[in-house]
Amino acid sequence: MNQDVQWMQAALELAKQAGEVGEVPVGAVVVKDGKIVGRGKNSPVSGNDPTAHAELLALRDAAQTLGNYRLENCTLYVSLEPCTMCSGAIVNSRIARLVYGASEPRTGAAGSVVDIFSNASLNHHTSVEGGILAEESRQLLQAFFKPKRVNQNPLREDALRPMDEWFEGIPNYPWPANYIANLPSLNGVRLHYLDEGSTPDNAKQITYLCLHGNPAWSYLYRKMIPIFTAHGHRVVAPDLIGFGKSDKFKKAQQHSFEFHRQVLLDFIERLDLQRVVLVVQDWGGILGLTLPMAMPHRFGGVLVMNTTLATGTQALSDGFLSWRAWCQANPDFDVAKLFARGNKHMSAEETQAYNSPFKDRGHRAALHAFPPMVPEYENSEGADISRQALQFWRERWQGQSMMAIGLQDPVLGQAVMNDLRQNIRNCPPPMLLPHAGHFVQEHGQTIAEAAVQHFKLSSL
């Protein structure tokens, strides 16, 4: 066997060992008179040492073995082309010959980016040969980086990610998860959404865009989704950041009206949703009703359930103010109990599904952030955009409208909804649900059945 190959295999063995403990797999040996006198494996992470590259460690090891800081008549074998730091050290230690494996196109200092060794005023000693067992080295590096590339959404440091196990076995939610993190506004936080019933030609389908509020998630639409898809429509239902299977900010202050609105705009744009029927309730409407004026060509219909546009020009309802005060007084409130209270027809498993996103207390920042975020005064964040939206619905809205009201809602009930209806152009009299409360979607089957009759593709 070629001597160079034999020594390079020793270097690759060290590279493998580095990779096994989570270091970028690079290894090096120093050889003198047919014997290994120094070994090094890349270890900057474990050593908290930016200089702990395989070559430097091998040089140090060899100098100790030989009892000399000058490594005369030695060859350094390294599995990857050295960086500038290591190349400088190789020259300084008077290594006679450098043999490396794979080239390193981003940082290599033996010809790839710069060439320390060809510089006559720097280097008098070291000859260079590259490409020995290069393929083996490359495969080792690719295998090391591969699992990280598969995980396209590393968790941001200021965010938390709910565990998949928290959602296992919850009833009537069979749909696969979809994730997106690379929207400009998301900046790496991962948003979960359902996307069901889409056909290859989905620009010609009606898309029901279903937006939940606080403290719910896309689970809220489980009774409506199958009805929409059974009629050949597409359903897209995101979980707002902080809710459901989406990432959670660690701090309440990270949430803002403008952030959530921009995420929804970016999301609709990225999925290129067309012929949208906007389905909203609670914060789904407080945010969602401000969207169509920014992209009116995408929206053909709106289905409004217990919600409002908070313009800051009218005092917030007493019902809302008590809800906000109650949330502040009970920061650890049981979300499942809240659903159980107004929905006697729900099973315990169903109400518990609303606790699933919040199994750790650290995940509750959105629950604290949202009630105080409802625009209260004319200069509150979101109030101005909500006033513009109200004007849009009153004067420029061209699409079809439908309204459904849960009459048992003390927060955003019939009075608030009647006000809103006056401001939605051509909105017919509402569908009234005497037994439904704030979370109208828990009685969503009849609403969805009425909606698929009401919204016709031909007119969207």
Binding site for Zn ion (CB under 5 A): 53, 83, 86
Q: Which amino acid is at 88?
A: G
**Whole-angstrom Cα distance, residue 406 to residue 412?**
9
Residue placing its CB nearer to Zn ion in the complex, 53 or 212: 53
SS3 27: strand
231 is catalytic: no
- DSSP letter at 225 equals H
**Whole-angstrom Cα distance, residue 278 to residue 402?**
10
CB atoms within 10 A of CB 73: 12
Residue placing its CB nearer to Zn ion in the complex, 14 or 404: 14
The least CB distance from residue 29 to Zn ion, in Å, is 15
- CB burial of 358-369 (b: ≥16 within 10 Å; e: otherwise) equals beeeebbbbbbb
Residue placing its CB nearer to Zn ion in the complex, 37 or 86: 86
409 is catalytic: yes
Residue placing its CB nearer to Zn ion in the complex, 89 or 411: 89
- DSSP letter at 430 equals P
**Whole-angstrom Cα distance, residue 198 to residue 232?**
8
Find the radius of gyration of the CA atoms of the chain. Answer: 31
The least CB distance from residue 82 to Zn ion, in Å, is 5
Residue placing its CB nearer to Zn ion in the complex, 86 or 385: 86
Our CA angle for 153, 205, 287, nearest 5°, is: 55
**Whole-angstrom Cα distance, residue 211 to residue 403?**
15
- CA 170 to chain CA centroid, Å, is 22
201 is catalytic: no
Residue placing its CB nearer to Zn ion in the complex, 118 or 445: 118
N-term to C-term CA, the chain:
74
The least CB distance from residue 56 to Zn ion, in Å, is 7
- DSSP letter at 275 equals S
Contacts of 150 (CB under 8 A, 6+ apart): none
CB atoms within 10 A of CB 279: 31
Q: Which of 61, 195, 239, 282 is catalytic?
A: 282
The least CB distance from residue 103 to Zn ion, in Å, is 14
Residue placing its CB nearer to Zn ion in the complex, 55 or 195: 55
Q: What are 287's strand-pairing partners?
A: none
Q: What are 303's strand-pairing partners?
A: 279, 402
Of 409, 397, 378, nearest in space to 282 by CA: 409
Catalytic residue numbers? Answer: 282, 409, 438
